[in-house]
Amino acid sequence: MNKSFQLNFIAASIAALFLSGCGDAETTIIEKAPIEVPDEDAHDHDDHDEYTIESQGRLAVLSAESNVTTLYDLDDGDLLDSYSLIHDSNVLTASADYRFAVIASRSNDYVGFIDSGLWREDHGEHLHDYKQAPAMSDFELNNSRPTHIIKNDGKMVVFYDGDAESGVSSSVQVLTDIDISEQTSELPHIDYSINMHGVAEPKGDYLLSTVRRDDAESTSAAKVLPDQVGVFHLHDNEYKQEQLLDITCPDLHGAAQNEDYVVFGCSDSILVVHQHDDDYEAEKIANIADLDGLRISTLYGHEESASFIGIASDHSSSNAILFSINPEEGEIEKLEWQPADGASPVSYAFSHEAENFLILDSAGYLNILSAHNHDGEIHWELEQSLDISEEDVSTMPEGMSFSLTVSQNGDYAYVADPIAKHILQIDLETITIKGDIEISFIPQSLIWLGIAEEEHEH
């Protein structure tokens, strides 16, 4: 296996000593001095140059053995720093523009941030990139039960479920990477009058956010799940409801969007929402027989993909069925590729330009699907299944699984292996393993951070 970007073993040994000796104490390991940022004013702006940085980005890796997150540099595999987190039950994701690692602890009403040190600013006549040492941010959010965190078009939306037992209602906050870096205290928001397990999708100055009706009116079997979607418009830092879509969506769970549509998972259908002039319109795509009594409750979308990928799963087992959803044609279609017997999907992702949809399974295979046009219709087909582990998968630590993240500025995927304790870099163009980073702990999850590539023309 190519070790071209393997972690320096001396750095790994130092990291292991610090982590094992400090326990829950704050751990700071700095392998190099902070990178000097050139003075913008020293450049001649008359030539309209773009002061950009060529970097593959950085990885934030959450440990399964302690409440620690570690950052690695993807250009050389170096360990940059490790951070002891406040809580020991965390979910890891990225901020809207991928500058910050977002640490969410639902049970502790907490969302925190780690600055990756890589970001871009648009200075009007030119773009300016920055590369600095990572740092833990003092900024945090503390509303009740942060659950669904969604990002799109430079905005990150945090939906707080609230808590019926303590009488706390749901709420929503919307923030940008600038809000995080400037520690903005008053964020655009929605304050509900009831709790719910909901979700909100940002669309320009609008939020398409769930609405829970009175239990006597609700069509949801589980009353904590909403059954309608409202259109909320931003006014004076608060999103006000301007429209309530009249089509119900029983047991609403799961949402995604592309360039033209926002979709929501319902127990009887997929709710499809799109803007028409100054209003939003909705229609349903009814469930098909291939769902076999299940419902689509997890959805994946991408601005450069005309179709969505929906996951229907049985919560009593690890079984999953994958579907393609075409809102333009009003169709749900079962994918030809499905998980092999004995294997279950553990992670999903679109590649950064949506040329591929990736499914990492429990058997240690990265299944790469590509979209193909047949008679004017898009179908997802298996391109290749890449074996990403040389280990006996039956020795997977209890409660652990392989995990996946994708680069947002290149055709690369990164897979963390808890058995081998390393992270693989996979070239999606050649579908080959290009290198790895050895780590000294069992990884729970990982996320790519850095300067994302600009959106492409369709």
Amino acid 45: pLDDT: 40
Superfamily of 143-338 according to CATH: Kelch-type beta propeller (2.120.10.80)
Torsional class of 77: left (φ above 0), alpha (ψ -120 to 50), beta (otherwise) = left
Sequence spans of domains, the chain:
143-338
Regarding predicted confidence, which is higher, 20 or 66? Answer: 66
Among the ranges given (2-6, 148-152, 264-268, 313-317), the one the predictor scored with the smallest mean pLDDT: 2-6
Among the ranges given (2-16, 100-114, 326-340), the one the predictor scored with the smallest mean pLDDT: 2-16
Task: Please state the rounded mean pLDDT for residues 140-148.
Answer: 98
Amino acid 317: pLDDT: 62
Task: Please state the rounded mean pLDDT for residues 221-230.
Answer: 98
Amino acid 400: pLDDT: 97
Report how far residue 115's alpha carbon sits from residue 449's, in angstroms, rounded to the nearest whole number.
Answer: 9
Amino acid 455: pLDDT: 55
Amino acid 375: pLDDT: 77
Amino acid 206: pLDDT: 96
Among the ranges given (249-263, 299-313, 344-358, 370-384), the one the predictor scored with the smallest mean pLDDT: 370-384
Task: State yes or no: pLDDT of 385 exceeds 60.
Answer: yes
Bridge partners of residue 163, in order along the sequence: 168
Scanning 125-237, the segments in alpha helix (DSSP H) are 177-181
Task: Please state the rounded mean pLDDT for residues 233-258.
Answer: 97
Amino acid 50: pLDDT: 63
> Is 331:338 a contact under the CB 8 Å cutoff?
no
| Residue 392 pLDDT level (bands cut at 50, 70, 90) | very high
Bridge partners of residue 114, in order along the sequence: 101, 136
Whole-number mean pLDDT of the chain? 89
| Residue 454 pLDDT level (bands cut at 50, 70, 90) | confident
Task: State yes or no: pLDDT of 444 exceeds 70.
Answer: yes
Regarding predicted confidence, which is higher, 249 or 455? Answer: 249
Task: State yes or no: pLDDT of 107 exceeds 90.
Answer: yes
Kindly state the tokens that stand for 309. 């990928």
Kindly state the tokens that stand for 110. 């907490």
Task: State yes or no: pLDDT of 20 exceeds 90.
Answer: no
| Residue 42 pLDDT level (bands cut at 50, 70, 90) | very low
Amino acid 410: pLDDT: 95
Report how far residue 376's alpha carbon sits from residue 373's, in angstroms, rounded to the nearest whole number.
Answer: 6
Residue in this structure with the two tokens 């949506």, named with its chain if needed = 354
| Residue 456 pLDDT level (bands cut at 50, 70, 90) | very low
State the CB neighbour count (10 A cutoff) for residue 278.
Answer: 7
Amino acid 431: pLDDT: 97
Task: Please state the rounded mean pLDDT for residues 274-281.
Answer: 92
Task: State yes or no: pLDDT of 32 exceeds 70.
Answer: no
Q: Considering the entire predicted model, what is its pTM?
A: 0.88
Amino acid 232: pLDDT: 98
Burial 340-366 (b: 16+ CB within 10 A, else e): eeebebbbbbbbbbbbbbbbbbbbbbb
Residues 290-347 pLDDT 10s: 999 999 999 999 999 999 999 998 766 678 999 999 999 999 999 999 999 889 999 9
